[in-house]
Amino acid sequence: MNRILKRTLLPGLMAASLTSVTLIPAQPAAADTLLRDAGAGAATSAASGAIRGCGSLLNNAVKGAAAGAAVNAANSSRRNRRNPSLVRNVAVGGTAGAVAGAITRGCRDPLGNAVDGAAAGAVIHLLNNRR
């Protein structure tokens, strides 16, 4: 009985493991998009903070990176990748920027922090939806 199970079960397991190993690299790496979105958010928020003249460059970059990561997380589900929404990305980026600004306490302007995050969300939306 043991040999019968080995002869019928092992070839199926081998085939399944080989196909899964082959298909896994075909999927895009989630870390690449997360780093790209966080970097784009950091650059956008740093520029927005410099234009507004509020907070340090590093503090604004941290707020933008947090907004970029939040927008990436909001777009990570399959349904949201098919139907990207500018309003959702701006809202998520603005909320994340306001929360990160409250935590870092660099510029004590919650509305300005939300504007920086919203700008990051809008830029990430434009970068991800170029056709």
Q: pLDDT-derived band of residue 4, with 50, 70 and 90 as boundaries?
A: low
pLDDT of residue 24: 47
pLDDT in tens, 11-40: 665 555 544 444 444 445 566 788 888 899
CA dihedral of 61, 70, 33, 126, whole degrees rounded to 10: -80
What pLDDT is attached to residue 23? 45
Which residues have CB under 8 Å from 50's CB, separation 6+? 57, 60
Q: Tens digits of per-residue pLDDT, 52-105?
A: 888 788 888 988 899 999 998 888 876 666 677 889 999 999 999 989 888 888
Confidence of residue 9 (pLDDT cuts 50, 70, 90): low
d(CA 124, CA 38): 9
- Tokens 């306490």 — which residue? 105
How far apart, in whole angstroms, are the C-alpha atoms of residue 129 and residue 85? 10
Q: pLDDT tens, 112-131?
A: 889 888 999 999 988 888 75
Higher pLDDT, 19 or 44: 44
* E-strand stretches of 1-131: none
> Where do the structural domains in the chain lie, given as residue ranges?
28-128
